[in-house]
Structure 1
């Protein structure tokens, strides 16, 4: 009897731990934009350059089998939301939603994102379609599927790259293209047209 009670308590503990994640996943809708602090090699540089912990972003797809995230990594892929969330530092996540865009249009947004599945990650942050970086994928998906461009394009030179000379040289060589225009995860997060559905970040984007 004692071992049965112990087993029951262990199962209860598992369900209690899993509940917050299940509750968050239940809030998600197709087209939601999710951001976290990546553990990738370049994450720290992105955080320094943008003065923000938000270094990676993806697009949500909700299906009968659960929620997934379409993201530009190496390569562009679609992964279960729980797996995507667990890759973030401290399991923290920010969920944003375009409230004024209908579900049918968001399906077109998702289709635009999924059209890039399998493409390589763009380490040089270019704007062509042969390769994709994370925030580029999300901005282009909404632009192509809904006609809305979220976030503000910035030049590489306008970011805080002064202390990142080594990383910049490794990526671009001797001549760093400071005039290069790009979109950052935090720029998407700061767009006031997007509503915050959930945030584990104490600080504002």
Structure 2
């Protein structure tokens, strides 16, 4: 009997973990189906990490949210994607359900995501054209201001233009310093490993900054 118990226990644990994962995935897909009806092409999706990290230590998000990533909604026929630049795939189109699942904390039922909608009219034709041009580019882990690679908020900044052709989001001097004005040890070590100086003050952008722009209306409720 003990032998049977020892054999079965790992199997039951596997079933439990699998069931929890399936339930979690089904809930995410249910949420995605609801959100698809609420979203419009060009809506910004800001992901935040309540725990904070090296990015949120040197940037500031809307109402203090520790925002460390941003993508934007792209509707193609009956499918909703999130255009984003991520380390694993570079510039890519991610199905909405996958984006929400990836940005849901392990012990949470809702994604750590808030929606931003532009208060100004942007050129959707140019948005799609520029996105198609950037799709497939590698991720820019060094946050450099060129088009050979792309980081998340850079993709947003370069894709969105007003109807008169001007950029919706201006670049700002990049910040790698803390509240006291000192470049943090993390970023000093990070760039030292790559044989580069910290690009403090170079033109760029960050997701927290975009969330605080006056042209963006943030929706904080669980229902986007």
Could you say which TM-score interval applies, normalised by the shorter chain? 0.7 to 0.9
Question: Which stretch has the larger CA shift, 85-94 or 112-121?
Answer: 85-94
Unaligned runs of 5+ in 1: 1-12, 201-205
Aligned to 1:192: 214
Matched with 1:81 is 96
**1:127 equivalenced with 2:145 (yes/no):** yes
Would the aligned equivalents of 1:120 and 1:131 in 2 still touch at CA under 8 Å? yes
Tell me the TM-score normalized by structure 1.
0.75
2:108 maps to which residue? none
Counterpart for residue 49 of structure 1 = 58
| Whole-angstrom CA distance in 2 between matches of 1:21 and 1:79 | 12
Which residue of the partner structure matches residue 116 of structure 2? 96
In structure 2, runs of 5+ residues without a counterpart are: 1-22, 106-110
Rg larger in 1 or in 2?
A: 2
Give the alignment's Cα RMSD to 1 decimal. 3.1
Describe the SS at the equivalent of 1:71: strand
- Higher deviation after alignment, 154-163 or 127-136: 154-163
CA distance in 2, matches of 1:132, 1:198: 27
Q: Distance in 1 between matches of 2:196 and 2:148?
A: 24
SS of the residue aligned with 1:156? coil
State the Cα distance separating 1:44 from its structure 2 match.
1.4
Counterpart Cα distance in 1 of 2:102 and 2:30? 18
Q: Trace 1:100-119 onto structure 2 (pairs within 5 A).
A: 100-101=120-121, 105-119=123-137
With structure 2 as the length reference, what TM-score do the two structures score? 0.69
Question: 3-state SS of the aligned residue for 1:56?
Answer: strand
Q: How many residue pairs were aligned?
A: 183
Residue 23 of structure 1: how far off its partner (Å): 2.1
How far apart are the structure 2 equivalents of 1:199 and 1:183? 25
3-state SS in 2 of match to 1:122: coil
